[in-house]
Amino acid sequence: MHLVCPAGNLPALVTAVAHGADAVYVGFRDETNARAFPGLNFNEADLRAGIAHAHAHGRQVYVALNTYPGPARIRDWEAAVDRAAMLGVDAIICADMGVLDCAARRHPHLPRHLSVQGSATTHAALRYYRERFGIARAVLPRVLSLQQVERLCEQDVVPLEVFAFGSLCIMVEGRCQLSSYVTGASPNRHGVCSPAKFVKWEEGPGGQRSVRLNDRLIDRFEPEEPAGYPTVCKGRYDVSGEVFHALEEPTSLNTLDLLPRLAAAGVAALKIEGRQRGQAYVAAVTRTWRAAIDRLATRPNDWQVDAQWQRDLARHAEGHQTTLGPYHRSWH
């Protein structure tokens, strides 16, 4: 089972390789990827250096080109595919059919992974992408239960990658317009969710803080209360007179408990979310998952979760809370 780790810049890539990532995924410094944040991502020189470093250590680099090119912009994405191929990346991760088609025609030998943004949740949808664009792997949206993941593995359409750890999108990826509804900027088109330029914090008389996204109140916090980033799905709202996290709490996905079952199911790769996170996160999370995967490989019969692993992961989780998320039926 491959461990696929995030890197938002060259030092993070080096860190991921040092701590045991089998592959590192990155993005170009533009809107062709779903973490198009200011100051993040790779220019050509950095990517060239990163690929050389990873390959020297026997590891791989994937480039995410997983946003959807809007009107009159597909040529930019096609140019990014060419650039990735020219630099010698090991795979590209794409969602848009036009981009996948272009990559399959122009660079047939460059492996294509279907991004989580492609929203493929069934063997029929996976077959579409395999037959149409020859995908070598698909990343599953974070909506399926563990049994459903196991079932998809059995059906063996393409090798599957699942999310193991990191911030949790609770909506089907590639099908969420909450950010674009409020701000006009969407993960699908612009590679951002609830972008910072629309966020406004206000402090009230009693030290209470309010946070608005494009003028819409997402949440309010008491002075001592930890305040998270105001993505629309993690705000507190009023439903039938009760104020609560009506969609989801600020929490991270952590599937460490499920590792043996994911391995037994035949999952090809585990993905760590977080290209926007710093080196400390990449180091701690990569190191922990490497240790867990290695121990499972060497001692499959008496594998159990190490309490220290969970403590290390919890420290880096959003809101310092973790959940099994959709893998576990009670979350639904």
Partner 1 sequence: MRLTLGPLQYFWPRERVLAFYREAENWPLDVVYLGETVCSKRRELATRDWIALAHELAAGGREVVLSSLALLEAESELASLRRLVENGRCRVEANDMAAVQMLRERGLQFVGGPSLNVYNHESLRLLCEDGLVRLVLGVEQGRALVEEFRASGLPLPELEIAVWGRLPLSYSARCFTARALDLTKDECGFRCIDYADGLPLATRDGQPFLTINGIQVQTAGLCDLGPELEDLRTAGVGLARIYPQAEGTAEVVRRFRAAIDTRVAPPRLGTENGYWHGTAGMALVEPA
Which residues, numbered 274-313, are part of the site for partner 1 (CB under 8 A)? none
Does the footprint of partner 1 cover residue 243 (CB under 8 A)?
yes
| Complex with partner 1: residue 181 or 299, whichever CB lies closer | 181
| Complex with partner 1: residue 145 or 276, whichever CB lies closer | 145
- Residues between 180 and 239 that touch partner 1 (CB under 8 A): 180-184, 186, 188-189, 214, 216-220, 233, 235-239
Element (H, E) at 201: strand 199-203
| Complex with partner 1: residue 138 or 282, whichever CB lies closer | 138
Min separation Cβ 217 and partner 1, Å: 4
How far apart are alpha carbons 4 and 62 in whole angstroms? 9
| Complex with partner 1: residue 119 or 276, whichever CB lies closer | 119
Min separation Cβ 46 and partner 1, Å: 28
Min separation Cβ 124 and partner 1, Å: 4
Look up residue 118 and give its two tokens: 């492609």
Distances (CA, A) of 244 to 176, 240, 253, 310, 332: 21, 11, 20, 27, 17
Element (H, E) at 302: none
Q: 181's torsion region: left (phi>0), alpha (psi -120 to 50) or beta? A: alpha
How far apart are alpha carbons 9 and 275 in whole angstroms? 8
| Complex with partner 1: residue 60 or 117, whichever CB lies closer | 117
Site string for partner 1, 99-128 (x = CB under 8 A): x-xx--------------xxxxxxxxx-xx
- Residues between 47 and 106 that touch partner 1 (CB under 8 A): 68-74, 95-99, 101-102
How far apart are alpha carbons 8 and 280 in whole angstroms? 12
Look up residue 209 and give its two tokens: 């803080």
Contact assessment for residue 114 and residue 172, using Cβ atoms and an 8 Å cutoff: no
- Residues between 25 and 44 that touch partner 1 (CB under 8 A): none
| Complex with partner 1: residue 37 or 237, whichever CB lies closer | 237
- Residues between 118 and 177 that touch partner 1 (CB under 8 A): 118-125, 127-129, 131-132, 142-145, 148, 151, 170-172, 174-177
Min separation Cβ 178 and partner 1, Å: 6
| Complex with partner 1: residue 46 or 96, whichever CB lies closer | 96
Min separation Cβ 236 and partner 1, Å: 6
Min separation Cβ 184 and partner 1, Å: 4
How far apart are alpha carbons 204 and 286 in whole angstroms? 40
Length of the chain: 332
Min separation Cβ 174 and partner 1, Å: 6
Distances (CA, A) of 134 to 27, 105, 250: 22, 10, 37
How far apart are alpha carbons 320 and 313 in whole angstroms? 9
Residue pointed to by tokens 């990155």: 26
